[in-house]
Amino acid sequence: MLTHSFQDLQLSALGFGTMRLPTDESGEIDQAQLDRMVDTAIASGINYFDTAYPYHGGKSEIAVGKALSRYPRESWYLADKFPGHQNVPGVTPLDPEEVFEDQLKKCGVDYFDFYLLHNVNESSLRYYGNPENRFMDFFLEQKRKGRIRHLGFSCHAAAEALSDFLNLYGQYMEFCQIQLNYLDWTLQNAEKKCAILKQAGIPVWVMEPVRGGKLASFDAETEARMRALRPDESIPAWGFRWLQTVPQPTMVLSGMSNLEQMQDNIRTFSDLKPLNNEEQALLKEIAGKVAKFIPCTGCRYCCAGCPMGLDIPTLLSMANDMAIHNSMNTVARYGGLEKEKRADACIGCGQCAEACPQKINVPEELHKLSVIMAGQKTWDEICRERAEAAALAKNSSRS
Ligand code: SF4
Ligand code: SF4
């Protein structure tokens, strides 16, 4: 297993993400299968395990803690996350202390090696960006007490909001988890986010290396071209090899759902085989086809003349995300924008299309985005529904 240094630790280059664990017919986590996966992970040198409060409806923390408890505490590193992104208007804010104590208990540990503010984005910045919420004081106190060893954050925001967050809390952050893969390098402007983090001296943790499976299989012709270049590697392995081509990642998290995926990943992370130019060119071509994306380069030539002051490249990147899959993160980010900054504020004047070197029909793309977003449940609505369901469950267990 390849490893990377982080401060005084030696971390496996591959971490076990536990958002998509194996489940049985009733949808419950298959603990026996998970135990076998954890055995295989530890035997092969994986020492980093990543869970979160909402994964598997709150059950991932319990199952992962149970599986790890069979090994000495000092032989593995556990990461968990504070779900500040679930604090939305109309829902009683989660109490950081109550959540944190609950998480320790569920995982069966008395400290977390890594603890993250979960899902910083344009919408959750309403909570994270409000100093009155005082969550940071609490987490820094836990760090002083040794109950959090390393504090960081995961981020789905655009580069500008990432910078805003760093201006507030960058001094306390030891690592940042971002969505990084050969599609999002340009699509979600991950290249720029890496540059911002590098400048801030914050190591990069990678999530969604194969974009939730979107980059794990392609049409027969595309896969044949990939196999011709790398006959011994699986299709998902290309995503990990691409990550070996960019310099920054310290940790690559893969959400593995079965032993087969894990064994394939372990094979890939046993050596360094970065992609050559021909292979990178093929991935670029594939990325273009997969996303069928709006070819916005983020040059911002269109922005200065927009009478509505819209952040056009960010809106187009959200449209690209939604074209690939209905991502709740994108819906949440969009919902976090001021109403007058959303796609439906466009008055169709057309100056942007004229200014665009890529000849993108911006007003048309923004109109499509506003129609798609109008049909979505907002993140706030989802959080309110979840909070009501949790309150109901709590009340019925009392009666
Ligand atoms: S068409 Fe819309 S996005 Fe483009 S400049 Fe006019 S108002 Fe702004
Ligand atoms: S001018 Fe075109 S390519 Fe440049 S940011 Fe605007 S839409 Fe994107």
- Say yes or no: CB of residue 294 within 6 Å of ligand 2: no
Residues with a CB atom less than 6 Å from ligand 1: 306-308, 310, 312, 346-352, 362-363, 366
- Say yes or no: CB of residue 297 within 6 Å of ligand 2: yes
Would you give the distance in Å from CA 79 to the centre of its chain?
14
- Whose CA is closest to 47, among 6, 81, 100? 6
pLDDT value of residue 398: 59
pLDDT value of residue 38: 98
How far away, in angstroms, is 183 Cα from ligand 2 center?
18
Nearest-ligand number for the alpha carbon of 366: 1
pLDDT value of residue 191: 93
How far away, in angstroms, is 194 Cα from ligand 2 center?
21
- Whose CA is closest to 266, among 277, 274, 258? 258
Per-residue pLDDT of the chain (399 residues; tens, 9 = 90+): 999 999 999 999 999 999 989 999 888 999 999 999 999 999 999 999 999 998 988 999 999 999 999 999 999 999 999 999 888 777 788 999 999 999 999 999 999 999 999 999 887 898 999 888 889 999 999 999 999 999 999 998 889 999 999 999 999 999 999 999 998 898 788 999 999 999 999 999 999 899 877 788 888 899 999 999 999 999 999 999 999 998 778 999 999 999 999 999 999 999 999 999 999 999 998 887 776 678 776 768 788 889 999 999 999 988 888 876 667 788 888 888 899 999 999 999 998 988 776 778 999 999 999 988 988 776 677 777 777 877 777 777 655
Q: In the numeric block, which tokens belong to residue 51? A: 């869970």
How far away, in angstroms, is 310 Cα from ligand 2 center?
12
Q: Which atom of ligand 2 is nearest to the CA of 313?
A: 5
Nearest-ligand number for the alpha carbon of 341: 1
Walk me through the domains of the chain, giving residue ranges and CATH numbers: 3-283 (3.20.20.100), 294-399 (no CATH)
Nearest-ligand number for the alpha carbon of 340: 1
Q: Which residue's alpha carbon is nearest to atom 1 within ligand 2?
A: 356
Pocket test for ligand 1, best of 296, 301, 308, 369 (most atoms within 8 A of CB): 308
Do residues 159 and 174 lie in contact, with contact meaning Cβ atoms separated by under 8 Å?
A: no
How far away, in angstroms, is 312 Cα from ligand 1 center?
8
Q: Which residue's alpha carbon is nearest to atom 7 within ligand 1?
A: 346
Cα separation, 394 vs 390, in Å, equals 6
Do residues 52 and 19 lie in contact, with contact meaning Cβ atoms separated by under 8 Å?
A: yes
Q: Which residue's alpha carbon is nearest to atom 6 within ligand 1?
A: 349
How far away, in angstroms, is 319 Cα from ligand 1 center?
15
Phi, psi of 78 (to 5 degrees): -115, 130
How far away, in angstroms, is 370 Cα from ligand 2 center?
18
Nearest-ligand number for the alpha carbon of 352: 1
Q: Which atom of ligand 1 is nearest to the CA of 351?
A: 5
How far away, in angstroms, is 139 Cα from ligand 1 center?
43
Q: Which residue's alpha carbon is nearest to atom 4 within ligand 2?
A: 299
Nearest-ligand number for the alpha carbon of 357: 2
Q: Which residue's alpha carbon is nearest to atom 3 within ligand 2?
A: 296
Longest dimension (CA), the chain: 65
Cα separation, 60 vs 175, in Å, equals 22
Pocket test for ligand 2, best of 300, 365, 366 (most atoms within 8 A of CB): 300
Cα separation, 137 vs 129, in Å, equals 14
Phi, psi of 198 (to 5 degrees): -60, -45
Q: Which residue's alpha carbon is nearest to atom 3 within ligand 1?
A: 346
